[in-house]
């Protein structure tokens, strides 16, 4: 018995080591593939504009990572790449094609990580770009993003913008949610809200959504 156990233990340890390698190496390589694109992603997230070449690097890093492990982040980051490409092209067919690719990547990522509020907001944006036939899906994605994190400063401004673009398709309950979101944004940083409204031609919209708070609406509209 002692001889048998002395053989089994090394075999068990060898099997365990191989199992750990089988599980760990692909994950390590997937993380390694993300590295070249991560600084570019962070710059985009901070509001910087990146070049098409840098978008290529971000896209390739995420595609290479997926080759090793299905990471939700890789798919949702790819969705962001395609949204940016859709915004940059003036060709209508190409714009829609990029938007549909973004939807596909974001839905794949959200199937793996359904509580990613940023990804839901991006899905709403991609659906808006894809056309009116995707408006129902856009509203659902916007609604889900807000429900998951109604106080999310990093996406307050862009998510309000998406809600405004979807306004005609929103239910009255959704419109009240949008009004609440705009007021939350005002209370968080009214200066940023006014600058964003001015830069994006949304001053009248923001003032309209703050109509129940006249002093706030007037401050947004002030020259």
Residue 4 reports pLDDT greater than 60: no
Q: Which of 95, 97, 99, 84 is nearest to 43 (CA)?
A: 84
What pLDDT score does 76 carry? 96
Of the ranges 31-35, 92-96, 206-210, which one carries the lowest mean pLDDT score? Answer: 31-35
pLDDT bin (cut points 50, 70, 90) of residue 146 is very high
How many angstroms separate the CA atoms of 210 and 223, rounded? 17
How many angstroms separate the CA atoms of 30 and 11, rounded? 29
pLDDT bin (cut points 50, 70, 90) of residue 22 is very low
CA distances from 179 to 92, 161, 197, 217, 222 (A): 32, 12, 15, 12, 19
Q: pTM of this prediction?
A: 0.84
């Amino acid at each position: 018995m002692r001889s048998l156990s002395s053989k089994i233990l090394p075999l068990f340890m060898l099997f365990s080591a191989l199992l750990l390698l089988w599980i760990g190496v692909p994950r390590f390589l997937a993380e390694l593939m993300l590295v070249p694109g991560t600084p570019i992603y962070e710059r985009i997230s901070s509001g910087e504009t990146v070049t098409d070449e840098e978008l290529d690097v971000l896209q390739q890093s995420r595609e290479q990572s997926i080759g090793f492990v299905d990471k939700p982040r890789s798919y949702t980051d790819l969705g962001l790449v395609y949204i940016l490409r859709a915004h940059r092209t003036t060709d209508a067919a190409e714009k829609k094609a990029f938007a549909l690719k973004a939807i596909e990547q974001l839905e794949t990522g959200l199937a793996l990580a359904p509580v990613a509020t940023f990804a839901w907001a991006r899905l709403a944006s991609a659906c808006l770009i894809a056309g009116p036939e995707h408006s129902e899906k856009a509203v659902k994605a916007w609604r889900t993003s807000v429900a998951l994190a109604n106080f999310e400063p990093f996406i307050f401004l862009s998510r309000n913008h998406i809600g405004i673009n979807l306004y005609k398709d929103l239910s009255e309950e959704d419109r009240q949610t949008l009004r609440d979101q705009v007021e939350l944004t005002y209370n968080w940083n009214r200066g940023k809200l006014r600058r964003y409204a001015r830069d994006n031609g949304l001053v009248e919209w923001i003032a309209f959504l703050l109509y129940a708070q006249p002093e706030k609406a007037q401050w947004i509209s002030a020259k």
